[in-house]
Amino acid sequence: MKLDAVVALFPDLEVVELTAWIEQSWVRPERTEDEWAFGEIDVARIRLIYDLRHNLEMPEEALPVLLSLLDQVYDLRRKLNALDAALQDHPQDVRAALLPILRSDDLEN
């Protein structure tokens, strides 16, 4: 999806504002020869930032911290899903032995 098409999805998003988000690395679309190419994940990220800025009126200075924390949560979710998938490949007795450890409140790094 091209820049103009993405901007058209949002009522009062300006090209200048979206370009600033790209320059700040809040959104990381693919760069083709002379334009940006936005995928679904980019549009979802833009929708999140748009809602935070335009609907919730979050100050611009707070966004880098919030986006970083959200990125960490999403990364953790991906890792936990990968762990779950890996555990599914093991026999039931192995999974049963690991379950109390994974449920422990005092897990160490």
Over residues 57-72, the pLDDT tens digits come to 999 999 999 999 999 9
Per-residue pLDDT at 54 exceeds 80: yes
For 13, phi then psi, to 5°, come to -85, 125
- Label residue 108 by pLDDT band (50, 70, 90): low
- Label residue 101 by pLDDT band (50, 70, 90): confident
CB of 30 within 8 A of CB of 24? no
Tokens standing for 78?
A: 């991906």
Tokens standing for 69?
A: 């924390």
Name residue 30's beta-bridge partners.
37
For the chain, what are the domain ranges?
Answer: 3-58, 63-103
Over residues 12-34, the pLDDT tens digits come to 999 999 999 999 999 999 998 88
